[in-house]
Amino acid sequence: MTVCTNSLVLAKPFSRPVHVAFDAPHASSDGGVLLLRSLDERLGVSASLGACVPDGRDAARVRHPRREQVLQRVLQIAQGYEDCNDADYLRYDPALKLACLGDADGGPLSSQPSLSRFENAATGRTIAGALRWFEQSWVDSLAADTEVVILDVDSTDDPTHGHQQLAMFHGFYDQHMYHPLLVFDGLTGQLITALLRGGCAHAAKGTAGRLRRLIGMLKARLPQVRVVVRGDSAFAMPRLMGLLDELQLQYGGVDFVFGKARNPRLEAILAPEMTQARSQHLADGRHVRRFSDFQYAADSWAYPRRVIGKAEYGQKGANPRFLVTSLEEETPQEVYDWYCQRGQVENDIKNFKRGLKADRLSCMTYIANFFRLLLHMAAYRLVFALRTLVAPHSEELGRAEFATLRLRLLKVAALVSRSVRRVLVRLPASFGLASVYAALLRELGPPEVA
């Protein structure tokens, strides 16, 4: 696409006039998209999701297959272009065309209207098939000798605007929103599965069904694996704990640890520990934490369960906390410290929502928005895999936020040219991570010697 923009001349503060023109042919600012395309080929993300989307178009007139459209949309999201409108100029980007079409020449990629029709072509069967693939691919990725799997469940808010289906008001968040449920691998940070729910849905709604299916898939492949489910107090629901008890009887090796909202009965039980913690703090000024456990049954529970109590006292006063768990062998402090590690899931959600703009669900229908959430989830899979792959080469990037990883490694200028024999992609000689980029390309597929 030719951009007709007059050149500009800058004088100060430069030593001589600087002419700026917008006419560099076959140039892209997204050279890192080639890494993501290679990862997609390895993981099979676009092929699997594309197969789930129905295509009632006339095959003789189709220019953009479903896989290509999935790939274009996912790569754009991963590169920081979450809005479908961005396709109106990115469809001509030579690096993106090379990644999606296998060639920098040829016609443009899908436009914004085409991608909008693509997203709205999804059905309930599309959603179900895509979720099964996400979950099964994660289960299949686990090593055969995996001993423990941690499933971190959490919910998040997704503000809505307009009259989107199931966009409802949530009193706690004080806004109209969707209320997605997310399940992460607590040991790695991988996003396993998701559920888009109406705005006023309870935080635990739909969790039981997701966990029943996931744990069944895990036990079918790895019968020996121990599964532990972690969640905050919103998930300490009788039905959910009862389901996990049922799965423990069915498979064995299924446990949980959930936060428990404090109440006068729990605080009365913990009162002796709190008194000792307060006395110790007043005596020497140190921040004091004491732990205990006891059997407790809320009125809605079928029988007593083990509850962990933390009696904490510091400069800001008393801070009692409680957990309910099926774990029996670990000490109260071990269970509590282990539960606190689920705080990492907040960073994973931040990468999903802020790094990949997964809260940009602006379609009108619920199904289209659910499918869009899964496209963002696919982008998460690619960027997460990239961060895992880069870790041995750069410790800093191996733990970086997704936005930082994109800025440092993926946002790199590229000149794309094509001859009869080959396509040549030229990255800047001054690219600071050139050696890392090259090493990743070799790992993803040993290149032929030029």
Query: Residue 398's closest CA among 426, 433, 429, 447?
Result: 433
Strands 305-314 and 148-155, by their bridges, are: unpaired
How far apart CA 438 and CA 401 sit, in angstroms, is: 21
Residue pLDDT, tens place only, 361-371:
999 999 999 99
How far apart CA 184 and CA 193 sit, in angstroms, is: 7
Statement: residue 418 has pLDDT above 60? yes
- Per DSSP, the residues of 59-93 read GGG-SS-HHHHHHHHHHHHHTT--SGGGHHHHTT-
How far apart CA 113 and CA 230 sit, in angstroms, is: 42
Residue pLDDT, tens place only, 134-160:
999 999 999 999 999 999 999 999 999
For residues 20-30, give the mean pLDDT: 87
User: Mapping DSSP to helix (H, G, I), strand (E, B) and coil, where does residue 39 land?
Assistant: helix
Report whether CATH 3.30.530 matches the domain 148-255+342-355: no
List the chain domain ranges: 28-121+363-444, 148-255+342-355, 264-338
CATH no., domain 264-338? 3.30.1300
The identity of residue 271, as a single letter, is A
How far apart CA 170 and CA 24 sit, in angstroms, is: 49
For residues 310-327, give the mean pLDDT: 95
Taken as a whole, the chain contains a residue count of 450
Residue pLDDT, tens place only, 180-211:
999 999 999 999 999 999 999 999 999 999 99
CA distances from 318 to 251, 267, 311, 324 (A): 41, 11, 8, 20
The identity of residue 20, as a single letter, is V
pLDDT-derived band at 103, boundaries 50, 70, 90: confident
- In this prediction, residue 366 carries a pLDDT of 97
Compute the CA torsion angle 338, 342, 343, 344 (nearest 10 deg). Answer: 110
User: Mapping DSSP to helix (H, G, I), strand (E, B) and coil, where does residue 246 land?
Assistant: helix
Residue bearing the bigger pLDDT, 1 or 55: 55
The identity of residue 247, as a single letter, is L
pLDDT-derived band at 448, boundaries 50, 70, 90: low
- In this prediction, residue 7 carries a pLDDT of 78
Q: Which residues pair with 153 in a beta bridge?
A: 183
